[in-house]
Amino acid sequence: MAKRAHIWHKQLITGLLAGVMAVSCALLPATAAAAEAKAEAGAGVGADATTEADANADVRTNAITNTDAPFVSPALSERAQIQTTGTLHVVEQRTFVFSQPTDVLRWSFTGLPSESEVTVASVRMAQVDDSGTVVGDWQTLQRTTPNTDWRDIVTGSGGLVDTLFPSPTTSNGLTLPDQGTWALDTWKRTLYTFFDRPAERVMFEVDWSATNAVAAYDDVAELYWDYVPARDDMATYDISASVQLPVPEGVSVVPNDTVLAWGHGAPGQLDIAADGTVSYQVPEVRAGQYAQAHILFPTTWLTNLSKDAREAYSGVRTDIAKAEEEAWTDTYSNQLVNRFTVDATVALVCAALLAIAAILYIVFGRERRTDLLMLTPNEQRQLLDDGPLITRFLAWNHVAKDEPDPQALTERMAQARLFDPTSFRLQKALFIMAVILVSAAVVALAAFGNGLAAVMLLVTGICIAIMANYLPRRTAKGLALAMVLADRAHVSDAEDATGNAAAPAAHS
């Protein structure tokens, strides 16, 4: 019997491959919109509760070394203190691992009140080993004047000056800053650092403050602070952030009473110590995510507030803040339930479609030897004398571009009844179903950020397309013709072999 041909519908298969490429490319990075939506929903970590993250050191190391990003941050330590004036003072030590040449970095200070003003006291850098220990001496960077052109040039977390800046001078003719300098764009709350291309692993220490960082209400003072701002092009690991509250002497700190704290964004652990230190431990903040602290403590602890700061906010805040956090938690829980429901529904639909496709293939696509019949000599002669019909038969009834009269040949194929027409109609339906599934996978990932549903839809679409490719079935008459053609091919091959063997003998 002739070997069954594998004929693909080119346009449909091209669409399937395009969908596979789109989903695969979108799965590599974490989609920023999906990650941000997950971060927005992942809030409501109370002082007496934690959200656990499955953090494994080996997995984190592999993620750092195998990333396609120009750099990642494998460690971040932040020590913050709220002063009695309402100013937030932070010393940040962030480690970078550079996989590509980099000599400019960009920081953003987010999550603070609009009236807050950020200032930077100092920036320094040092090479560190794999354990994060400083190797050699610290290099202190010098302050320089910022340029508003940088806002449009350095849009990500950083890069290479020669690549980011098109010429040695900016558009207004101002020479680029020297290496070993930093500049603060106060209006945009953005810090730029320029430095000589460092070693692979470097730590930067930034000492900065934000005035009016705390909102002082009648009952409580409130801090919102993004201790890990969202970075669409960089992941941060092993985050440790602490906020020291201005606890007056002799005052006791009662978690979930005198001090309330929550964490938003990437999941992690939260602790309130007896000395008034609120600590956050987060194993990973993916690209596009953020990590935010939300803390309430008595306003009376801010003993040196300015008159403007005291009058900026009024009213009772505690109950409203608790209600907001409960709403955050409910939203996150509902999202988890909805995500599970969607994933379960997609899984059931995919399983049902695969089962239907498999049943259709078994019922309509399998060719059984019990269906064989013998062609009469007249039937053989009529079929074999029709060369275009045999060509179309060997191509599994697919129309060739060079056929002189495709319509007439299609009519002769239908009259010959060599193929089961139902199997071809089912093949077309399954191909359409496969294209719809792959398209749905792209939408699930791009629009909703649901990678699991996208994978299930994609795999199901590919499997159904493969089954559809093998679905067309020959009739009993078609199987008999295939047997005849196979026998003729064997005879022809044997004659060719005999001829080739006899030729040397005749020559000798």
Give 317-350 pLDDT, tens digit per residue.
999 999 888 887 655 555 666 778 888 899 999 9
Residue 473 has pLDDT above 60, yes or no: yes
Q: Does any domain span residue 2?
A: no
Residue 26 DSSP symbol = H
Query: Does 104 lie in the same domain as 17?
Result: no
Write the CB contacts of 336 (distance below 8 Å, at least 6 apart in sequence): none
Specify whether 81 is located in the same domain as 112: yes
Report if residue 39 sits inside a domain.
Answer: no
Same domain, 248 and 280: yes
In 3D space, the residue among 99, 125, 92 whose CA is nearest the CA of residue 196 turns out to be 125
447 touches 336 (CB < 8 A): no
Asked whether residue 1 is domain-assigned, the answer is: no
Both tokens assigned to 214: 């705390």
- Measured CA to CA, the distance from residue 234 to residue 156 in angstroms comes to 9
The pTM score is 0.60
Report the pLDDT value the prediction gives residue 395, as an integer from 0 to 100: 87
Number of domains in the chain: 2
- Report the alpha-carbon distance of residue 430 to residue 440 in Å, rounded: 15
| pLDDT of 363 strictly over 50 | yes
Q: Is pLDDT above 50 for 351?
A: yes
Q: In this structure, are 297 and 378 located in the same domain?
A: no
Which residues, 6 or more positions from 62, have their beta carbon under 8 angstroms from its beta carbon?
none
* pLDDT tens digit sequence for 54-93: 333 443 444 444 445 678 999 999 999 999 999 999 999 9
State whether 168 and 302 are in the same domain: yes
Residue 336 resides in a domain: no
pLDDT digits (tens, 9 = 90+) for 222-244: 999 999 999 888 899 999 999 99
The answer to whether position 271 is within a domain reads yes
Q: Are residues 424 and 486 in the same domain?
A: yes
Sign for the CA dihedral angle at 125, 127, 132, 137 comes to negative
Report whether 151 contacts 188 (CB < 8 A): yes
**Structure confidence by residue, pLDDT tens digits, 418-463:** 888 888 888 889 999 999 999 999 998 888 878 889 999 999 999 9
The CA distance from 115 to 311, in Å, is: 13
Assess whether 52 and 14 both reside in one domain.
no
If asked whether residues 157 and 300 sit together in one domain, one would say yes
Q: Is residue 150 predicted with pLDDT exceeding 60? A: yes
| CATH number of the domain within which 204 lies | 2.60.40.1730
197: in domain? yes
Query: pLDDT value at position 501?
Result: 57
- Predicted confidence band at 39 (pLDDT cuts at 50, 70, 90)? very low
The verdict on 412 and 296 lying in the same domain is no
Is 236 inside a domain boundary? yes
Mark whether 158 and 119 lie in a shared domain: yes
Q: Are residues 297 and 370 in the same domain?
A: no
Token pair for residue 183?
């500049």
Helix (H, G, I), strand (E, B) or coil at 149: coil
* 363 and 301 within one domain: no
With contact defined as beta carbons under 8 Å apart, do 435 and 379 qualify? no
Nearest by Cα to 247 from 276, 222, 271:
276
130: Cβ–Cβ under 8 A, 6 or more apart, which residues? 201
Q: Is the pLDDT of residue 153 over 70?
A: yes
d(CA 19, CA 82) in angstroms, rounded, equals: 51
Amino acid in the structure at residue 83: Q
Residue 188 lies in a domain: yes
Domain with 387 in it: 10-22+341-492
